[in-house]
Amino acid sequence: MKLKEFAGTGRKVSAVGMGTYYDPLWIMTGLLGWRRGAQAKVEAIAAGLDAGITLVDTAELYQSERLVARALAGRKREDIFLATKVLPNHLHRDALIGALDRSLKRLETTYVDLYQIHWPNSKIPLAETMGAMEKLIEDGKVLCVGVSNFTLDQIREAQSALPKSELSAVQLDYSLIHRNIEPGILQYCDAQKMALLAYYPLGHGKLLSDSRLDSVGLNHNKTKAQVALQWLIEKPNVFPIPRASRAEHVRENAAAGEWELTDGERVELDQKFR
């Protein structure tokens, strides 16, 4: 598995991560205590860990933190880069600290490597939220801070609200078929050495049947998923986090990054998907 430095932390993590958002029905039934197919999802996450994936992303919303804990059981915690997210209604200082404590309990760990604001909340001052984040860093419960689904102006505001720390990561929808963060946010993240976690890196599954990937895949004997992920992996600060729901798909995703696109293929993909 290829490793890449995560932001400016000096920490190297797998070039491909795993996301653990499943679907709205999973979330709704999870709130009621019914987690259909939970064992298969645990096995998928474990398969990714066995294949060398070290970056795992979850959230209090997803109802998957307990699954991640089950997959991590018996493994060295320091080998895993564990990220979770806080809901926008938990961004007041005390609410955020309480939300993290509940996530830590579900994850069966004492800290997370990355704690992210899931969505912005204009009704709560970012200075208050980021002050709470810095308290969690001081307490050793959080190593890095990130944001998700923020605009460029909101990212800048979040960064300026962290006087003693750095904003390490931004998480957004990014793939060959969803490129509206270019050049603005992507260029900004590169300049600031922020990691960009790309969710829906396979275009919510649409790229798995897109014939525009065929020629590159044939050149390297790679699947469409592996070509689409490789295009993201080769961007310096981008970490795709495809969903971990089936073990065979996770193993396929983990094999991305073990090869390289040619210069001509990068140009070809950029032109085909403009």
- Axis crossing angle, helix 93-107 with helix 126-138, rounded to the nearest 10: 50
CA distances to 10, 13, 20, 59, 172 from 54, in Å = 15, 6, 14, 17, 20
62 catalytic per annotation: yes
- Residue 81: phi and psi, rounded to 5, are -100, 105
Which residues have CB under 8 Å from 180's CB, separation 6+? none
Closest CA to 65 of 95, 47, 41: 41
Q: How far apart are CA 107 and CA 232, in angstroms?
A: 28
Q: How far apart are CA 205 and CA 109, in angstroms?
A: 32
Catalytic residue among 62, 174, 199, 200: 62
Which residues have CB under 8 Å from 99's CB, separation 6+? 60, 86, 87, 90
Q: How far apart are CA 269 and CA 200, in angstroms?
A: 18
Beta bridge partners of 147: 117, 170
Report, as residue numbers or ranges, the catalytic residues: 62
